[in-house]
Structure 1
Amino acid sequence: MGKSLDLQRRVFLKSSGAAGAVAGLAGTFAAPGEAAAATPVHCPAGDATPPALSLGRLGTLRVGEPRSFHYPDARSPCLLIRMGMPTEGGVGPNQDVVAFSQLCTHMGCPVSYESGLRLLQCPCHYTTFDPERGGAMVCGQASTDLPRIDLRHDSKTDIITATGVNGRIFGRL
């Protein structure tokens, strides 16, 4: 009777493992339209740094109210945020203005800024990024931080300019 019980247990465990593997694989494929927010963009190796893009005057930004823009091209939504306190990678007199790609590094769903939490959150798989720590992934499905948009602030004109991307935007090679 002991061998029969061991055999049944072994069959059960093998079946459970196989079912778990199938369920895990099924979870790696998005439902139709789930990641439609991102259209893969081919960037040939050796592309030059993207051109600078003026994002407006720092004085017009309100703390905690993100401003949308596209960079380095029209298929790359981004958020410009004035955090209200010195922040990693921040520009301006208070070093509190940062910008990030809006495409989650997990599957390209658009993240949004939650001002009450001071975090960027993805609604698709609940990944959370911290803009105060350079877009670091706090929790969720993503395996990399959110790409930070390099900024420059001209103190004479008060203009903020996007000058490059620090990290890999979802859908890019």
Structure 2
Amino acid sequence: MTEPQRIEHPLAPVFDERSRVLVLGTMPSPVSREVGFYYGHPQNRFWKVLAALFDEPVPETNEERAALALEHRIALWDVLASCTIEGASDASIKDAVPNNLSIIVDVAPIEAVVTTGAKASALFRAYDAALAERLVHIALPSTSPANARMRTSDLVEAYRPLKDALAG
């Protein structure tokens, strides 16, 4: 078992003035922090799911991942600015401090917020209630390898509302 650590969010948000859907996780995993990008664990299926949704090749580098997100008007960040966490276990999160999402929503015409996983959804509703009331909130399942009950094809189907939000 990993000892709890106090983590300060190390990654800048990915967005531009065209971003329309904000995708939020909880906090980058140790592997994502190590590689310096969102959903960086090789077994995390986020990038495979996005690639399948948009009929694109799976991005391999951080630059390709950022380009895929931005090309499809997707912003990436996390609900939390800091927390105490054991490894990558969302269930262990304590002493959470939220990110200031206005950094993105004041610049980009965000129409929907997509949360990846139950904990991200709960934290978004708890810390960003006013934003959750103003924007469409789509709670989606985690693409983490810890969510072993869902196959990648199931996740692609589950993530269709993200694509639909961009088409609306």
Bigger proportion of residues as strand: 1
Bigger proportion of residues as helix: 2
Q: Give your verdict on TM over 0.5.
A: no
Q: What is the TM-score with the length of structure 2 in the denominator?
A: 0.26
Larger radius of gyration: 1
Question: Relative CO higher for 1 or 2, CA cutoff 8 Å, sep ≥ 6?
Answer: 2
